[in-house]
Amino acid sequence: MEIVREVRALQARADAERAAGRRLALVPTMGALHEGHVALVAEARRRADVVVVSIFVNPTQFGPGEDFAAYPRPFEADAARCREAGVDVLFAPSAEAMYPAGFQTFVEVERIAKPLCGASRPGHFRGVATVVTKLLLAAKPHLALFGEKDYQQLALIRRLVLDLGVDVEIVGVPTAREPDGLARSSRNVFLGPEARAQAAALRRALRAAEDAVAAGERDAGGLLAGVRRELAKAPLAEVDYAELRDAETLDPAPARLAGPTLLALAVRFPAASSPRGVRLIDNTVLRPRAAPAGREGSP
């Protein structure tokens, strides 16, 4: 595995691989790699000849008071995990390599960035859109893979690529989970034992909504009430949001679900390492069955 630190060096490697007719995949990460990242690499390995993983804790997507300084950076362990997973190139640039002196160019995706995490983390998705654009330009991949746990990020990147005409395929990979259903995240390590046990409530809330929709429930208010009842069983949980959104546009869902609908959660748990606690996100796409003829709008 080659470790590359400079943008120009990665571009040169990509040019050589493309000239040789090889297919490149990029897996962007912020490090602290876990089994969810390994699943992304495995899917990249299946789809491409050359797999590039980037590790870069991007300062422009962290707001004031967020955990940028405390974000885990176990580089040697991450590099070892990449080698074991069969990564060909590890791109690990410095902040100066990604944001040279005088940097003043940012990428914004307007509507998709506003709700959900965008409402509580102003500027976050401007940082995400900018760094992903830069990584795509540096790695020149044929495809880039992202986890579906960060659904809003995935939707935003797909919109960015479509709007700017970037010649890359964006692949979403299903959320990797712990045995109790908690979505794997680099932030899970900050949870104390009690908070960790209660954090499984996120997945239980999503499943409750999935079961309700499968049984025929289509009322948005009723679904969200059920979700909040399930989250209330975790007394340490502070709900940031629990919302229903159009699965493609992220516009608010109608009062009665009519098509694929994103149920997105963000919940904060206390943590000794941070006065703001640990903020976890999770989601599912609800797929209501079509109403029988003549039954639309019936209770």
Query: By C-alpha distance, which of 201, 196, 285, 286 is closest to 239?
Result: 201
Residue 57 neighbours by CB under 8 Å, 6+ apart: 30, 31, 68, 71, 73
Residue 131 neighbours by CB under 8 Å, 6+ apart: 28, 56, 58, 60, 61, 98
Per residue, what are the HEC states of 107-165?
Answer: CCCCCCCCCCHHHHCCCHHHHHHHHHHHHHHHHCCCEEEEECCCHHHHHHHHHHHHHHC
**78 token code pair:** 């991450």
Which residues, in sequence order, are bridge partners of residue 173? 147
Q: What angle do CA 173, 208, 118 make, to 5 degrees?
A: 55
Phi, psi (rounded to 5 degrees) for 129 = -60, -40
Q: Is 142 a catalytic residue?
A: no
Question: Considering Cα of 151, then 34, then 173, then 90, what sign does the dihedral take?
Answer: positive
- State the virtual CA torsion across 57, 62, 64, 70 in degrees, nearest 10: -40
User: Helix (H, G, I), strand (E, B), or coil: what is residue 211?
Assistant: helix
Phi, psi (rounded to 5 degrees) for 77 = -65, -40
- Which residue out of 34, 37, 124, 142 is catalytically annotated? 37
Active site residues: 37
